[in-house]
Structure 1
Amino acid sequence: MGPLDILSSPVTWVVTIVSLLYILYKYATSTFDYFSDQGIRGPKPIPIFGNLWGIWKANIPEYDVALVKQYGKVFGYFDGLLPNLWITDADMIKAICVKDFEHFVDRRSFGIQTKVMRKWMMLMKGQEWKDIRSSVTPAFTTGKIKRMSGLIRDCVSNLSDQMSRLTESDGKIDSKLVFSAYTMDVIARCAFGLKIDNLGSKDDQFMKNAAYILNPPANKSPIVLLPFVYPKLLSSLSTYAERLLITKEHRFFFKLLEDVLKDRSQSKEKFHDFIELADEAISDFTKEVDGKTVPMWSREEIDEIIMAQSTIFMLAGFDTTATTLTNTCFQLARNPEIQEKLYESIVTKMEDYDEVCHDMVQDMPYLEMVIQEVLRYYPPLTRVERECTKDYSYDNGRIQIKEGQMVTIPAFALHHMEEYYPDPEKFDPERWTPENKAKRNPYAYLAFGIGPRSCIGMRFALEEMKIAICAVVQKFRFFPVEETPEKLRFENGLLAVLQPVQAVVGIELRQ
């Protein structure tokens, strides 16, 4: 039998195909023994996709809770071939996010190099992230937020007027829609210095574009798996990735910010908004070069950083805050005794103030307790992720985490664990009294993340929520109607922020 006969033989083709399939299978499962070799259990992965198949149609809060109940506080998971250690052990959370942070400096990123997006703080890595975080932090001090609180109060006035109209016409509100208009109004004024008159209307491009960026249709389809299964795809196909990532919705805000920055450069007017405060803080950041102190960045670089942080400020702040206010409204409607206790605390505090303001909301313990319990019950971001930046071992080497691997903390599941929160399905602000907080491990609460990479805008978000809640609860009473569900549910899909379903409540003016 000659060489050509061997090559054309059916046996040769069968052996070749079987061999190739075997090689492909070995590659597609090459990492799947990583956790089992360490004695760490977890859900069984499938070739190529790991544990991600079907995630685009799952209900993430329920999915995560079920995983933690089945596999415990530490288990292995696979994002495609990438090992991902899931943890809800509070001591380990402290070690990874705080104590040994130098091993977990980065969040998940996909090598995005597109202008503006490459400077998003949430995607940045290493020293560059540290420098920009340090430069932007002064824009979120208590004093700077107080400067923006006047803008917030104007937005609350619009919110109150809208609620009054709905009280007279319908007697009920779609709270997510109403609060989304409020939070976008706040973002537009406090981040961009813009007043928008048609927020929430059919022609409102601000909310439409922001909602699309946060929750695109791809998040509910298998397409969402691509950056997880092939994490280097976006960086290796940068031109095509830019077309995929930078949609017309992104360009709407990028163009808006370019125009705002151009106008600001030609004006001496003071706006007391985020762009102005961030410009001041970033421009003041310096470095040493040849023994001389010089600005860290050029004017062009500063403008790009401002644009990046402003868009993140909008995207991170718009929907997370609207969702939290929606969830607060729902729980107050379902728990009238809590609503009335909150109302009484507001009325008592108002005896010392002419209006709801920054100074008033700083010392309202029960308001703080209600908000903390809402964020415990419904953390808007269901997962917190860290990427290992250098090899790490925990518990005397029992658990090994290699550079490049992911660690996921399922915040929603963590917040609903009986070990940390007895009777976790009960909405109970009393969990947050000083005495009860002292009994609980503080690393079992991740509403704003934790450690050096926690939410930089936490103080601003709390200010925005506190002023709004005080103003509306003082004037309105919320109650269940026929459309109000017994338990608030959220949309399926791998969504960036929890999206409440059917968050309709009744509303009436207080007498």
Structure 2
Amino acid sequence: MTINNRHDYFKRLGISGPQHRFFFGHYKDLWSVKSISRQLQQWICQYSSIYGLFMGTTLMYVVSDVGFLQEVYIKQFSSFHSLNIANILRIEDSESVHLLRASRARWRRQRHFLNPTFSSAKLKLMSTLVHGCIEVMLNKLSQMTNNEHTEIHIYELYKRLTMNVICRCAFGIDTDMQNDINNPYLQISAAVFKIDLNELQFVRLSNLIPILACPLHYILFSIATICNKLIELIPFLGNYIQEIPNLWLINRVQDVVNL
């Protein structure tokens, strides 16, 4: 498909959408806004519940129609093969690729094996652990609200509760992170979610020019590997070299799995 034919794709199907830019597609518009999700919502109001975007030269549907989503995620789930992730993270350089980076057949296989874990029967078995974590949060709330006019930042408490439940139910780690705000798992997880991949230049470059995704991937992860090896050999360098939060969390989870 030529570039001109590709850019006429949505027009030929009668699908509306915002005006794109040559080469960049709609990337420049999305990079210039504070919230991509809010921009997508604005376009939904302006166009329709199904419209088309160009991520560079890659076609993308934006869908908010509930019936259509049910068709894709449930009735036609076998055709849904992966999540939309940055090109630089799509490079599968080993067999140990986790669900968030897997694609196509590997993603579907991993998702298939994970589905029974989240069945209603399995979730009921975890209810005791979940209730225990909730009790800890309620006790924390009671300690913080001795004065009925006390204002609390409930979002922070919910984040700690969520991480506590995940650690207890998924990994069997009994932490005191609801009381210990310096818990490393809590801090690193918070750091992970503070990182906006769309703001990183090498991620933008790999999305805009997919052929660069592979070399950029190896450069990034090679640097991370070298840093980790240096810290292993010379531990005090850990005070000066900070491990990438995502990789730190993945490595700690792997340590738990290997127990």
Shorter-chain TM range is: 0.7 to 0.9
- Does residue 40 in structure 1 map to residue 15 in structure 2? yes
Q: Distance in 1 between matches of 2:37 and 2:43?
A: 10
Distance across 2 between alignment mates of 1:65 and 1:95: 21
Q: Which residue of 2 aligns with 1:193?
A: 172
Contact 2:91–2:214 (8 Å) recurs in 1:
yes
Distance 1:52 1:164, change over 3 A: same
- Which aligned pairs between 1:327-342 and structure 2 lie closer than 5 A? none
Residue 91 of structure 1: how far off its partner (Å)? 4.2
Query: Which of the numbers 185, 188, 213 marks the counterpart of 1:209?
Result: 188
Structure 1 unpaired stretches of 5+: 1-26, 264-511
**Which has the larger share of strand?**
1
Shift of 1:54: 4.1
Larger Rg: 1
* 242-251 or 192-201: bigger deviation: 242-251
Task: Say if 1:52 and 1:79, in contact at 8 Å, map to a contact too.
Answer: yes
- TM-score (normalizing by structure 1): 0.41
**2:119, 2:11 → 1: CA distance?**
46
The alpha carbon displacement at 1:138 in A equals 2.7
Q: TM-score under structure 2 normalisation?
A: 0.75
AA aligned to 1:158 is V
Any idea what SS the aligned residue of 1:162 has? helix
Q: Partner amino acid for 1:173?
A: I
The answer to which of 71-80 and 27-36 deviates more is 27-36
CA 1:143–1:37: 2 relative to 1, 3 Å = closer
Q: What is the aligned residue count? A: 236
Amino acid at match of 2:106: E
Q: Please state which structure has a larger fraction of its residues in helix.
A: 2
Give the aligned partner of residue 178 of structure 1: 157
Quick one: which of 35, 60, 65 aligns to 2:41?
65
- Correspondence 1:75 to 2:51: yes
Partner of 2:256: 260
Q: Which has the higher contact order (CA 8 A, sep 6+)?
A: 1
1:152 partner amino acid: V
Shift of 1:248: 2.9
**1:88 corresponds to 2:67:** no
The unaligned stretches of length 5 or more in structure 2 are 226-242
The 3 A distance-change label for structure 1 pair 232 and 108 is farther
RMSD between aligned residues: 3.1
Q: What displacement does 1:168 show? A: 1.7
| Equivalent position of 1:119 in the other structure | 98
Q: CA deviation at 1:160?
A: 0.8
Structure 1 pair 224/53, CA: closer, same or farther in 2 (3 Å)? farther
Matches within 5 A, 1:102-501: 102-109=78-85, 110=87, 111-114=90-93, 118-120=97-99, 122-168=100-146, 171-199=150-178, 201-220=180-199, 224-243=203-222, 247-263=243-259
Q: Which amino acid in structure 2 is aligned with residue 41 of structure 1?
A: S
Q: Report the Cα distance in structure 2 between the residues aligned to 1:150 and 1:181, rounded to whole angstroms.
A: 18
- How far residue 218 of structure 1 moved from its aligned partner, in angstroms, is 4.4
